[in-house]
Amino acid sequence: MIQFKPICLTALPLALMWAQPLLAQDLQDREQGPPPAGGTPLPANDQEVTFSAAQIEYDDDADIVTATGDVRMLRAGSRLRAEKVSWNRKTGEVTAEGNVAVVNPAGDTAYGDNVRLTDTLKDGVIENLLLVLDDGGRLAADMGTRVNGVSTLDHAAYTPCHVTNPDGCPKNPSWKITAVRVVHDPVKRRISYDDAKLTLFGQPLIWLPGLSHPDGSEGGGSGLLMPNVNYSRTNGFEIATPYYIQLAPNRDVTLTPHIYSSVLPGIEAQYRELTSLGAYSVGGFLTYSRRQSPSIVDDPTADSSRDIRGYFEANGRFQFDPQWSLSASTRVTTDKTFLRRYDISRDDRLRSTFNLERIDADSYLSIAGWAVQSLRAEDKGGNQPIALPAIDYRLRLDDPLLGGKVQIQANSLAILRTAGQDTQRAFAGARWDLRQYTGLGQELTLTAYSRADIYHTDDVLSTLTPSYRGKAGWEGRAIGALAADMRWPFVGEFLGGTQQITPRVQMVATPRTKNLDIPNEDARAVDLEDSNLFALNRFPGYDRWEDGSRVTYGVEWAVDLPRFSLRSVVGQSYRLNSRPSILPEGTGLSDRHSDIVGRTTLKYSNFVEFTHRYRLDKDNLAIRRNEMDLTLGSSRTYVTAAYLRLNRDIDPSIEDLRDREEVRLGARLQLARYWSVFGSTVIDLTGRQEDPLSQADGFEPVRHRLGFLYDDECIELGVTWRRDYDATGDARRGNTFLLRVALKNLGR
C-alpha cells in the first residue's frame, strides 16, 4: 500500500466535473460496473489522495509514476478504478487507462476508456464517455473535453429513461436527445446543443435547432417548455408554446402564446414570486374575438360583436408571524362564456376573497371579504353579493366551576349589492359545553347557548323569494338553547372481529325565535342530512335559527373485520311542540316528525369503497334523497360511479332547493405495464318529475371523455377526446381533442 500526499491526482477523473445531465451515444451499462466502496484507506483530509494497486513503477529518466493492476483511488469522497494510472511529474499530465470508472460524492458514476488531465487539474479529455447519474439519467459521448471550465461533448446523447427492461435485457429508451456537439458553460449555467434531434421510441421525431436548457445548478432557467396541442369545434386547432423566464431564484414569468386555426391568437401569462413572508402568483389570458349573449344557445349565425376578452386570477398567502397571516385570491373574467369557450374552466361562479387571520391556542380572529361573479346565463350581475367586511372572533375559556369549556363569539357581516338588497348584521354569543362519562360508559354532553343579534337591511323588494327578505330597517333578535346529548356504545366480538352499536339521544329546548323579520343571506340551502341531524341548529348559516323543543334519536353501527369495515348511522327527530315550522315543505324538517336520514359506508381492503346517503319520507318511506358513491379496483385499474337524486317536492320558486338527478361514471383500465385507457361521463337525469321548471328531458348528457395514456418513468404521452353538450352563447357544444406529450426530467 502506497500513500501520496497532495499531488496532481487530486481531481483525476475529468468526468467528476461532468455531473450534469448531458447526453450519450452508447447508453447501455458498462461491463466493469462502478468501483466498490472499501478496500482502500480513507484520506485524512480533502487534499489527500490514497490508492491501492498491484504494482507501482517509477521511471527516473522520464520522471513518471505508474500504478497498474486494479488501481483504486480515493479523494474527497470520490472513488476511481482503472487498470492503469500514470503521473508525468515533468508535464503534470495524469492519465487513467482501461475500463476507467469513477463515482463522485453525489453518487454519479462516469465510465471511459481513457482519461487525461493537465497539471491545472481543470482541463482534460475523456474518450468513450458514459455518465450514469444518481437520479437515473445517463449520457455518453465519443469524446469529451474541458477547457477553462467549459465542457464540450462530441457526438453525444442524453436520456433519463431506463435502458433495460424489467428482465434486465437492453432496450431503446423511450426518448433521448442526440447532438453533434453539446456545450456546458458553468458561468451561464446552460447546456447548448448543435444539430440536436429528439428520438422517440427509437425513431427520430423532431429536429431541435438552437436547443438549450439550464444545467440544473440554480434549480432551472429560462427556456421553452413542452407545447400543448388541442382541437375544438369552436376554436379549431390550437398550439400553445409556453416560454419560461427566470427573473431571479425567487421570481419567474411564464408567457404562453395560443395560436388557433379558426380564431385570433391569445396570450397567457403567469408571474410567481416567493418572498420572506410568503408567496403569490398573478396570471391571466387575453384575446380579441367575437362573443354572443349567453342567452343564445349554440347558434353560430346569431349576432355577435368583436371585443377584448380575457380572464385574470391572482392568489397568495403571507405569514407575518406565528399568529398573523393573510390569504387572498381573485378570479374575474370579461364575460360569462369566455372561460368555457377557451377551455380554461367549467366553473359557473368565480369568487374573489381575502382573509386576515390571527390564531393562537385559545382564540381566533378573521377579518375577511369576498365577492362573486356569476357566469350563469340567468343571473344578473347587480344581484351578486359583496361581503365587506366579514369579521368573526372566537375565544375559548375553561369553566372554573363545572369543568366544561366556554366559547365566546362575536360576528359581523355587511352584504352589499349594486342592484339588490343590502344587509348588515352583528351578533355576540356564548356557548358552554360539558362532556362527562357515567359509570355505565355513557357519554353525556350538556350544552347551553345564547346569542343576541342586530340586523339592518333595505331594498328588500328586489329579493324575489319573500321568505329571504326580512323587514326593512333595523331588527333585533335574541336566541337561547339548552341541549343534552347522550351516546352509549356497546362493543363486542363479531365474526372474528369487533362490532360497536351506539344508540344516541339528544334533547334540545329553545324558546320561540323571531326569524322571518330577519333577512336570510347565509341559511338558504337547508336540507336534513346525517351530518346535521344532531346539530344544535340544522340551518347552514346564522340568519335562521331552528326554534322549539325536539328530541333526536338514532343509532350508529360499526364493524371491523380483517380487510373489511362497515360504518352506518340512521336517525330521526321529533318536535315536541305543534307550532308551524318556518322550514318549507320538502326539507324533511317541516312536520313534527322529521324524515329519516342515514349513511352507510362499506370498505373491503383497498379494492372496494361504497357510500350510500339517503333520506326517507316519514309518511311513506319514499326516497327524498338518494346519493351513492362507488369505487371499485386498484390504483391502476378502477371504476367509479356516483348517483344523486333529490326528490324533495319543494316549492320550485325557492331556487336554492331545486331538485335534480345526475349520474357520473369513470373508469381506468391498465392494458399493459405503461398503457392505459380511461374515460368518464356526466349525465343529467333531471326531468319535470324532479324539477317542474327544468327544460331537460330526463336524459341530457353533459360531458363525455375518453383517452389513451402511455406513462413510464420518463415520458407521458396521451390523447384525449371530450364532448361537451352544454352550450351557451359562443361556448358551443362539440368535440375537443387534446394531445399531451411530457418529457420528464428534461434539464434536471
Q: 582-620 pLDDT, tens per residue?
A: 888 888 888 899 999 999 999 999 899 999 999 999 999
Query: Within a domain: residue 679?
Result: no
Query: Within a domain: residue 689?
Result: no
Question: Which whole number is the average pLDDT over 181-186?
Answer: 82
**Cβ 21 vs Cβ 70: under 8 Å:** no
E strands in 459-561 = 473-487, 490-494, 497-510, 548-561
**Cβ 504 vs Cβ 467: under 8 Å:** no
- The last residue of one of the domains, among 523, 549, 576, is 576
Query: Within a domain: residue 328?
Result: no
**Cβ 683 vs Cβ 691: under 8 Å:** no
CATH number, domain of 146, equals 2.60.450.10
Instruction: Give the helix/strand (H/E) hosting 65.
Output: strand 64-75
Tell me the H-state helices in 432-529.
none
**Cβ 399 vs Cβ 434: under 8 Å:** yes
**Cβ 462 vs Cβ 472: under 8 Å:** no
**Cβ 257 vs Cβ 273: under 8 Å:** no
In the chain, how many domains are there? 2
**Cβ 598 vs Cβ 613: under 8 Å:** yes
Give this prediction's pTM.
Answer: 0.78
Residue 17's pLDDT band (boundaries 50, 70, 90)? very low
Query: Within a domain: residue 276?
Result: no
**Cβ 589 vs Cβ 546: under 8 Å:** yes
- What is the distance in angstroms between the CA of the first residue and the CA of the last residue of the chain? 40
Q: For the ranges 144-158, 477-491, 515-529, 601-615, which has the lowest average pLDDT?
A: 144-158
Query: Within a domain: residue 368?
Result: no
Query: Within a domain: residue 615?
Result: no
**Cβ 198 vs Cβ 714: under 8 Å:** no
What pLDDT, in 10s, does the model give residues 668-724?
Answer: 999 988 899 999 999 988 877 766 666 667 788 889 999 999 988 888 889 999 998
Give the CA count within 13 Å in the CB-facing half-sphere of 384.
16
Question: Which whole number is the average pLDDT over 28-55?
Answer: 70
**Angle at the Cα of 686 (from 680 to 691), degrees rounded to 5?**
155
Candidates 665, 661, 628; CA nearest to 645 is 661
DSSP state of 10: G
Q: What are phi and psi of 338, to 5 degrees?
A: -60, -45
Candidates 663, 676, 596; CA nearest to 635 is 676
- The last residue of one of the domains, among 524, 547, 576, is 576
Query: Within a domain: residue 261?
Result: no
Which residues lie below 8 Å from residue 571, measured CB to CB, with a gap of 6+? 504, 530, 533, 534, 552, 553, 554, 555, 596, 597, 598
Q: Which three cell numbers stand for residue 466?
A: 319573500
What is the domain extent for residue 433? Answer: 395-576
Query: Within a domain: residue 504?
Result: yes
Q: Which three cell numbers stand for residue 649?
A: 317536492
* Residue 565 CA, distance from chain mean position: 29
Does the pLDDT of residue 368 top 50, yes or no?
yes
Question: Which whole number is the average pLDDT over 468-497?
Answer: 94
Round to whole Å and give the CA distance between 222 and 220.
7
Q: Please classify residue 721 by burial: count the beta carbons closer than 10 Å to its beta carbon, then call 0-12 exposed, 13-18 middle and 19+ buried.
A: middle
Tell me the H-state helices in 108-264.
none
- The last residue of one of the domains, among 560, 576, 592, is 576
